[in-house]
Structure 1
Amino acid sequence: MKNEYQIYGIRTVIEAINSGKTVDKIFIQKGLRGDLINDLENLVRKEGISASYVPVEKLNRLSKKNHQGVIANTSPVEFHDLDNLILEVIESGKTPLFLILDQLSDVRNFGAIIRTAECTGVHGIIIQKKGSAPITADTVKTSAGAVFNVPICKVDHIKDAIFHLQASGIKTVAATEKTESTIYDVNFKEPTAIIMGAEDVGISPAVLKLIDEKAKLPMYGSIGSLNVSVACGAFLYETVRQRLA
């Protein structure tokens, strides 16, 4: 974790959250007691911020500063409101292309996907507040700075985002091996949101039940799957190919 995306101290973290600063994750020393730490914990629960209770040794490794038992990861970017972004894209007259990342947890994969999304004209990336990879210095580096060019939306639940996209006339397509259809069977010329799953388990079953279409990549080798950022690139460039045709 890089210092420029790190804040520390109980009161400092409370003030950062109250000011609207995006806090991705908080590390709290195990066993801390007191009114101030209670205020922080209540605020963390209210805002749905991911928190981990860790030994003081872990905090000391994260920062040499006087952390007072609390260190927070902050985001280098501001997140966009999904409703406003969808409306902006539709009103622009462009054919919407969104990317939904369902519980993707690796920050380097996240960065690589953002980079490809920027190159392929994705209008917005949607992630869930809980369980998703944070935007760290590694994410920024792997994205080659694209993280500052592609709107990213954080939502409470991926399912709600899918419902909103569908209600806005945007088709949802899941990248999954649990289908006979390939990406070459999908019409990506239509307004589309592509859903990519977590590195280890793919798209959650609850999300798969909601989407409009499923598609997979043809696989001819002995290894059954691709890295998620590579697979995402294949889906996005098939979209580009179709829209250029």
Structure 2
Amino acid sequence: MEKPQQIFGIRAIIEAIQSGSEIDKVFIQKEAQGDLMRELMKLVKKNNINFSYVPVEKLNRLTHNNHQGAVAVISPVSFHDLETLVESVLSKDKTPLFLILDQVSDARNFGAIIRTAECTGVDGIIIQKNGSAPVNGDTVKTSAGAVFNVPICKVEHIKDAIFYLQSSGVQTVAATEKTDDTIYNVSLTEPTAIVMGSEDRGVNPSVLKIVDAKAKLPMFGTISSLNVSVACGAFLYEAVRQRS
């Protein structure tokens, strides 16, 4: 039987967390009070579950049921351990290609990126627990089911993931306009992790300081930026071109 995509109600969410359900994100009504809500928040923080405070209108859109000020999104996939995945990929007879998403927050963009990643042979997608888009129905639909085929890792901090990949012999390349190098001047033929930034501010400046290389797409129009899923596709297919 297919798992429900949402759980509503404080007690139901508490029980789901305690039973080990794969909770992707919890939406909490702003200014919500009460002992039960405090118990929920304590559990959410203890288990490092992604959460955000939202107006009640947001919760009302998520469910027509009595949500009591809390709605949880159940992940339809199980997340992978980063170190285990990297070790497994590096042991294979192919050049690894990873994708790091620095707080891409729109579920449809996330789904579109996953779909392209699956088509281009990406070995794993790395996202941060806090600030990233949930893996929900929109993600699954937009990915055309690819979300079930590409391993996804959730990490506490993107920078720690980058340091680990670098120590494992994987170069990190950030997509940013803050460079003179285009993607066509950067070698992607070695083990590589491409870093894509959030929709509103791009790759975090602290992340840009530690990556091995930065690259941009040439722009010839009057609009100065691309949708992140489109830009990601261009980067991934340049990796495919270079490796073909």
Pairwise TM-score range, normalised by the shorter structure: over 0.9
Q: Residue 7 of structure 1 aligns to which amino acid in structure 2?
A: I
Q: Residue 22 of structure 1 aligns to which amino acid in structure 2?
A: E
Task: Please tell me whether the aligned partners of residues 32 and 69 of structure 2 are also in contact (alpha carbons under 8 angstroms).
Answer: no
Percent identical: 69
How many pairs are equivalent? 241
RMSD: 1.7
Q: Residue 71 of structure 1 aligns to which amino acid in structure 2?
A: V
Distance 1:6 1:180, change over 3 A: same
Q: Distance in 1 between matches of 2:178 and 2:20?
A: 40
Q: Distance in 1 between matches of 2:74 and 2:204?
A: 27
Task: Please tell me whether the aligned partners of residues 174 and 194 of structure 2 are also in contact (alpha carbons under 8 angstroms).
Answer: yes
Aligned residue runs from structure 1 range 37-56, under 5 A? 37-54=37-54
Matched residue of 2:4: which SS? helix
Matched residue of 2:91: which SS? helix
Matched residue of 1:41: which SS? helix
Aligned residue runs from structure 1 range 139-218, under 5 A? 139-218=139-218
| TM-superposed deviation, 1:212 | 0.1
Q: Distance in 2 between matches of 1:71 and 1:183?
A: 41
Q: Residue 225 of structure 2 aligns to which amino acid in structure 1?
A: S
| TM-superposed deviation, 1:184 | 1.1
Mapped pair 1:21 → 2:21: yes
Calculate the TM-score normalised by the size of structure 2: 0.93
| TM-superposed deviation, 1:57 | 5.5
Q: Distance in 2 between matches of 1:159 and 1:57?
A: 34
Q: Distance in 1 between matches of 2:58 and 2:205?
A: 35
Aligned residue runs from structure 1 range 41-80, under 5 A? 41-54=41-54, 58-80=58-80
Task: Please tell me whether the aligned partners of residues 32 and 69 of structure 1 are also in contact (alpha carbons under 8 angstroms).
Answer: no
Q: Distance in 2 between matches of 1:43 and 1:184?
A: 47
Q: Deviations over 1:41-73 (max 9, x none)?
A: 111121232334456565444323343443211
Once structures 1 and 2 are overlaid, which stretch shifts more, 111-120 or 215-224? 215-224
Task: Please tell me whether the aligned partners of residues 112 and 229 of structure 1 are also in contact (alpha carbons under 8 angstroms).
Answer: yes
Task: Please tell me whether the aligned partners of residues 51 and 130 of structure 2 are also in contact (alpha carbons under 8 angstroms).
Answer: no
Task: Please tell me whether the aligned partners of residues 128 and 155 of structure 2 are also in contact (alpha carbons under 8 angstroms).
Answer: yes
**Uncovered stretches (5+) of structure 1, i.e. residues with no partner:** none
The match for 2:83 is: 83
Task: Please tell me whether the aligned partners of residues 25 and 74 of structure 2 are also in contact (alpha carbons under 8 angstroms).
Answer: yes
Distance 1:78 1:179, change over 3 A: same
Q: Residue 183 of structure 1 aligns to which amino acid in structure 2?
A: I
